[in-house]
């Protein structure tokens, strides 16, 4: 029996579910609502369907939210200020996320003309926004007592938005066996003096322990949140500073694709070359052999909320130019907002995103082609 015929027959056994051959857990998986216009392709090749959708998506919402948001001094605050691991971990007891509203966030993305959302499931500080069983350093073990990924997943699937999960893979500032500064560069860990006692050093350090931890968490994300559009890995400079093969990424990619065949994998501008798309940051001027996504911020530079950026967030006109610039590659624009400590989207960003959405609705996507036309150099991120 052909794969297409098998899936169509399987669909008759349950409402809204289809059995996808090749899944490791052999569970029925819901048809991805974000692929509703690509169903025929999905029946034959789920990942090809997501790639076609991704190339057409143009615009996505990025969110950097975590413990660093409480301090408002950049998402790298632990690294930059060399805050001791145990001292930084105390921020968990202040994490309430009382105004994190997945319904509002997804509606805002739709209003802005966006087709997908990507959130920091676990940033370099290792704090997790879901109810992972592999760490106590998580949102459900804080005053928030909430699984923020679960809430976003439900809303994205109900509204037809693709759901991507950012995961810090090459860099971790909490796990004892994460890449260390003795062997790995690329800002692997804060340079504590004296060395932080929570880390493993020398012969006691075992990268394999950390890889097992990450593999378990990523497998867990795929088990808990379905259907996903992508796994978005970060921390590329650390594995690139040594032997990337030690991180066994191809095995990881194969596992991801076997568990949810429609899921795309990226590792920034590409770590081993078999990623599904490239996702470099602003000011990137290289060439891409894969589908491309340019990442940029609504704040001047920071990704997590920064107090010093109050009153300096991007305007509608700047975002419009960023969209035009991305279209010139062509590439998607993944535009980041750093939610306030409460989880609320910054009011300035809300207003700008809604205004951008009205512009898109007014002129259509055909109006977002060609090179950046801004005369201000700081507005020209890609092509000028």
d(CA 231, CA 265): 5
Which of 35, 65, 67, 62 has the alpha carbon at shortest distance from 48?
35
pLDDT in tens, 25-50: 434 457 999 999 999 999 999 999 99
Give the model confidence (pLDDT) of 283-339 as tens digits.
Answer: 888 778 899 999 999 999 899 999 999 999 999 999 999 999 999 999 999 999 999
pLDDT tens digits for 231-244? 999 999 999 999 99
pTM over 0.85: yes
CATH number of 46-379: 3.20.20.80
Share of the chain above pLDDT 90, in %: 82
When the pLDDT of each residue in the chain is averaged and rounded to a whole number, the result is: 90
Interval 76-88 mean pLDDT: 98
Q: What is the pLDDT of residues 199-237, one digit of tens each?
A: 999 999 999 999 999 999 999 999 999 999 999 999 999
Question: What order of strands is seen across the sheet that includes strand 162-168?
Answer: 264-267, 230-234, 162-168, 116-122, 59-63, 332-337, 293-297
pLDDT at 193 over 80: yes
pLDDT tens per residue, range 247-295: 999 999 999 999 999 999 999 999 999 999 999 999 888 778 899 999 9
| Sign of CA pseudo-dihedral 134, 139, 140, 141 | positive
Q: Output the pLDDT for position 29.
A: 59
């Amino acid at each position: 029996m052909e794969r297409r015929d098998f899936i169509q027959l399987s669909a008759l056994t349950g409402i809204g579910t289809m059995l996808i051959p090749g899944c490791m857990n052999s569970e029925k998986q819901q048809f991805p609502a974000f692929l509703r216009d690509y169903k025929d392709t999905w029946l034959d090749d789920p990942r090809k369907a997501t790639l076609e959708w991704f190339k057409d998506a143009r615009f996505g919402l990025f969110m950097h939210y975590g413990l660093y948001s409480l301090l408002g001094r950049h998402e790298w605050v632990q690294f930059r200020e060399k805050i001791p691991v145990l001292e930084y971990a105390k921020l968990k007891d202040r994490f309430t996320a009382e105004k994190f509203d997945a319904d509002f966030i997804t509606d805002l993305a739709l209003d802005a003309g966006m087709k997908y959302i990507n959130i920091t499931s676990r940033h370099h500080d290792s704090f997790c926004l879901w109810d992972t069983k592999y760490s106590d350093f998580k949102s459900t073990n804080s005053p928030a007592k909430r699984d923020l990924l679960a809430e976003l997943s439900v809303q994205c699937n109900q509204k037809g938005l693709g759901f991507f999960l950012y995961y810090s893979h090459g860099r971790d500032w909490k796990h004892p066996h994460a890449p260390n500064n003795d062997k790995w560069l690329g800002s692997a860990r804060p340079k504590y003096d004296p060395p932080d006692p929570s880390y493993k050093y020398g012969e006691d350090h075992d990268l394999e322990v950390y890889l097992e931890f990450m593999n378990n968490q990523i497998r867990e994300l795929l088990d808990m949140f379905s259907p996903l559009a992508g796994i978005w890995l970060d921390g590329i400079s650390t594995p690139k500073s040594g032997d990337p093969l030690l991180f066994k990424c191809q095995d990881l990619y194969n596992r991801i694709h076997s568990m949810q065949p429609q899921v795309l994998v990226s590792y920034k501008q590409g770590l081993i070359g078999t990623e599904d798309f490239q996702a470099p940051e602003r000011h990137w001027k290289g060439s891409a052999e894969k589908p491309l996504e340019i990442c940029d911020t609504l704040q001047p530079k920071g990704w997590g909320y920064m107090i010093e950026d109050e009153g300096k967030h991007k305007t509608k006109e700047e975002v419009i130019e960023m969209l035009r610039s991305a279209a010139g590659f062509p590439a998607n624009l993944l535009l980041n907002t750093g939610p306030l400590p409460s989880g609320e989207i910054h009011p300035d960003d809300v207003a700008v995103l809604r205004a951008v959405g009205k512009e898109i609705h007014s002129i259509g996507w055909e109006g977002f082609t060609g090179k950046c036309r801004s005369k201000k150099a700081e507005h020209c991120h890609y092509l000028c």
